[in-house]
Every structure is written in C-alpha cells, then in structure tokens.
Amino acid sequence: MSSKNSTSSYGWVAKTFHWGMFFIILGQYWLGGNFKNEAYQGMGLGGYHFSVGLLILFMILLRFTWRAQNPVPEMPDGTSNLQAFAAHGLHMLFYLLLFALPAVGVAIVQAKGGTVSFFGLFSVPRFIEKAESTAELVVSMHGIFAKITLFCILLHIIIALYHHFGKKDNVLRRMLP
C-alpha cells in the first residue's frame, strides 16, 4: 500500500492518522469527563487530559500538512456538487475544531494559573494571564466545541455507514486498513 493518497484511495499515512486519532480522541473524551477540575498540576487524569490534548494538537497540524500535499480521493460517480461541498466542508471543520478545542483547553489551564505540561517532558510557554473572567469564557467555549465536535463525529459515522450499507460504494472501504 502506498504512503500517499491516490485519486481513488487513502494511503497508509492518512489511514494511520485517521484511525490512530479516532482512538486517541475517544480516550480524550473519557478523560475530559472524568478528571477532577481542581487537578491542574502533576500527572493525574487531568495531567493526562492536557498532555493527550497537546498530542492531538500536534497531530492535527502534521495531518493537515500531510493532507495539503496529497491528492484527495475523488467522490463516487453521481456525487452532486452540493454533496461534495458538504463532505469537504465537514472534513475541514474537523481540522478547525481539532485545532481550536485543544488550543482553548490550554487557555483554560493558563487562565486558571496552571501550567500545561506534555507528559512531564516540557511545558507550554505562558501566553495567557491568570484571570477568572478569561477562565469562565474559555471553559464554556471548550465545552461547546467539545459538543460540536462530538456531534460532527456522530454525523460523520452515520454518513460513512450510509455510504457502505445504503449506497454500497467504496467510500468506507478506501479509509479502512
């Protein structure tokens, strides 16, 4: 299998990003819902939520760079312009959300006066001052972005399954390992 995408299928790099990030993002939702908000230091569940979130931020930047240098597989025959636009739009929205969601997460920790560490290896430089008003704003943004992303994921899965079982085209198969 080729590392690069072709006009008909995804290469192994895009597939590895896709499925690797899928499982990491699932874990990240679990961590987000289960860590105690007070734990802004050390490597408790909160520390893992922040570190994994940073990992997602790095991965989405690499993944976007990779995508920009690859052909995007063509839509199946008979796809309308509107459908193609919607599919492309939802994919681009994922890139935007998976950048904004962790970036806002970093802002929460900094606005609360904490430090974001990447698995204890290094810390993110401070770019937001400690302020309760900022913290309130970014906490609500983080919650809303997390919900919008989850909604998009569910929609994306339903569409993928519809392609495979309803339209019986190769859209799901070309993203599978």
Helical residues (DSSP H) of 5-80, grouped into ranges:
12-34, 45-68
- What is the closest distance, in whole angstroms, from the C-beta atom of residue 175 to ligand HEM in the complex? 4
Residues 17, 63 contacting (CB under 8 angstroms): yes
- What is the closest distance, in whole angstroms, from the C-beta atom of residue 19 to ligand HEM in the complex? 8
Residue placing its CB nearer to ligand HEM in the complex, 71 or 174: 174
- What is the closest distance, in whole angstroms, from the C-beta atom of residue 68 to ligand HEM in the complex? 10
Kindly state the tokens that stand for 154: 């569910």
Residues that bind ligand HEM (CB under 6 A): 14, 17-18, 22, 25, 28-29, 32-33, 37, 49-50, 53-54, 56, 67, 73, 87, 91, 94, 98, 101-102, 105-106, 108-109, 116, 139, 142-143, 146, 153, 156-157, 160-161, 171-172, 174-175
Residues 6+ apart with CB under 8 A from 10: 18, 73, 174, 175
If we measure between CA atoms, which residue out of 30, 37, 29, 35 comes closest to residue 112?
37
Helical residues (DSSP H) of 35-131, grouped into ranges:
45-68, 81-111
- What is the closest distance, in whole angstroms, from the C-beta atom of residue 131 to ligand HEM in the complex? 14
